[in-house]
Each structure stands twice: as structure tokens, then as C-alpha cells.
Chain A
């Protein structure tokens, strides 16, 4: 033991110290990231929102995919209603009055600012379109596998 410690040259001691310091910093960073994992989410998925509903009227964000076939314009002409889906069966109906982002289409990702109402509808005050690397949000990886491969084909490949 003493042989090793006296045999260590100053350069090696510094190297060991730097390696220990790097390991400690990485461990601290990972711990912090782990502790943040829920707070740092930018939005809730529908299954997170229905499993753990926020207080009605509290400002939250809901994100997911606009269910194909669910988008409809209501009679007043400016309010749209659609259903947001996630990885699991849970869905949340959304209502929004205002200008829709250009990339907002059925089957695409969306992030809605707003609040959950008494009747379980999410009333959005602002909509953001979420662009995805291949159309279907990563949070919906499960869907992507059994959803049409041609959908991701058409979104990533250029169609004239």
C-alpha cells in the first residue's frame, strides 16, 4: 500500500484527482437531472394528465398528437375542437379559439397552453405546433411502430 502511494508520481496523483472530480461532477449532474425529471417537462402527455389531473383552471401545458379525424370547426367558425392522444389509450379533448399555427394538422404534434375544465375538456389559450424528426412525436414511439410507415415516409421524403 505504501509502495503504491509513494510510487505515484505527482502527474498520476493529479490525474487521479481530476478523474475523481469529473466522476463527482457527472454524478451530481445526473442526480440533479434525475430530480428535475418531472419539473423540467415542458408539457404533460394525455396519460400523465388523466392519471394525475391538475386543478381545474390551473395553467398547464398539454402535449401530444392531434388524433386523425378528430379536428372539427365549431359553429361559431373560430373555435376548433380536437382530441390529443399520447402513447397510451388516454385522450384529452381540447377546445381552442384563435389563429392556428401553419403546421397544425391532424396526426401531427401539438403543445397547448391552457387549463383543464370541470368537464374534462382542456381549454387552450395558445397552440404551438410541434415539429418532429419523423412526424410522429417521440413521446408516441409506440404509435409510430404500428402506425403507417408510409406516413413517416411521406413526411420525411419530399413529395412534389
Chain B
């Protein structure tokens, strides 16, 4: 496993894994969403709005899973100082934020006909909005430290501290009375009928593969960017050296 912390070995793996994940992710997610839109029956109470489930739930899963990934990479960065861990966390942040935003938007669209309101400040909705802001903060921090050559430890510490929000999001509907319903799928038990559940699980798998592919592509892009910068810096140094040497001689 540690062998893949080596950027060269990682790149040779990512070169074929990223497109494979992207392709299988696109096929599975498109299939599951089409299944949810066209095949799945309408819900007894919610009617047709139930279909937004197939985008809302995978997005929520990836929004929270993304930050879990940032937290794990941050811990790996602080403990083992793997250079790839910092790149991985940076690569996760933007897609994680996008999926969190999709989760909030689809939830809001579903909430209007179902609850009768676009937004309420209950525990689940508020903690998910906090996650969106945490992502924005992380992205700003990681970009600033990467651009100014600052320590990648600072975003890593932020990533670890922000992870406390993940169990809060998960437990918010259990700890507090909330408008958002409690979890439908718990260990060994599902309150979602099979017709709804099977395409939902396929959608979660498909979105996750897609997310993995996007993260790997972004990691490759970030590594390439760093290599370009390092090469430019080296070249600038090589140009400088003879000039200063000749100045010293004269």
C-alpha cells in the first residue's frame, strides 16, 4: 500500500484507473438515474418527487465521504508526511463541495412540495450547510498554502478539526427533533421498499466510482502542475547561475 505513496508508481496506476473509474461511474450513475426517473413507481405520499432521491442521497454520501477522505489524508500527511496525501486532499475538496451543494439544492427542491418549505434551520440542514462552508474554507486555505509555498500542515489541521462535523451531520436527526427524516437505511434494516432501494444502491455505487475517477484525474493534474512549476524554477535557476558567475568575475 505504501508503495503507491510513490508518485511515479501512483501515476502509472492512475493512468489507467482514472478513466476506468470515470467510465464505469458514468455508465452506472446514468443507468441508475434513468432507472429512478423512468422505471421506479411514484411514492404513495410524495408522488413523483421521490425520484430526486437518486441524486440527493448519492450527493449527500459523497459530500460527507469527501470530507472523511480529506480527514484521512490530513492524518496521513501529518503522521507520515506523504506528499501524495496533501495532493489527494486538495483533489477531493472541490468535487466534495460540488456534491454537497447538489445535495443542498436537491433537498431544497424536494422540501418545497413535501414539507411545504424550501429551507428550515433544523439540525440536519444546518450541519450540511456548515459542511459546505467548511469545504469553501478548506479550498481557500489549501490554495493559499500551495500558491505561497506555505506549509500544507495548516489545511491538514483544518481538515482534521472539520471532521467533527461529519458525525454531527450523521447523528443530527437522531439527537435532535428535526424536520428532516431520520435515516431510512440502518444496519441490517431498510425502510425503503426494494423497488426504490436497488436503483438507489446502484446510484450510490455509480456516483462513488465517478467521484473516485474525478479525484484521480485531479490528482494527476495537480502533480503535473507541480512538475511544470519545478521545471520552470530549475530552468530559471540555470539561467541565473552563469549571469551571476560572470558578474562576479568582472
Chain A residues close to B by CB (< 8 Å): 11, 14-15, 17-18, 21-22, 25-26, 28-29, 33, 36-37, 40-45, 63, 101-105, 108, 111, 127-135, 137-139, 152, 154-160
Contacts and interface: CB of A to CB of B under 8 A. Distances in A.
Interface in B149-185: 157, 160-161, 163-164, 167-168, 171-179, 181-184
A43 B180 CA distance: 12
Given A18-B79, A42-B120, A130-B115, 12 more contacts: A25-B160, A25-B164, A33-B168, A40-B172, A41-B178, A111-B179, A128-B115, A128-B179, A130-B181, A133-B181, A133-B184, A158-B193
Contact of B173 (A14, A26, A138, A152): A138
Given A132-B181, A133-B182, A133-B192, A33 B175 contact: yes
A18 B160 contact: yes
16 contacts: A11-B80, A14-B78, A25-B163, A41-B176, A41-B178, A42-B122, A43-B177, A44-B177, A102-B113, A103-B46, A128-B116, A128-B179, A130-B115, A130-B181, A133-B182, A137-B181
B183 A133 contact: yes
Interface string B184-200: 10000001110100000
Contact of B79 (A14, A36, A133): A14
Contacts of B28: none
A11 B80 CA distance: 6
Interface in B47-79: 75, 78-79
B45 A40 contact: no
A104 B45 CA distance: 10
Contact of A133 (B113, B178, B191): B191
A131 B181 contact: yes
B114 A131 contact: yes
Contacts of A36: 176
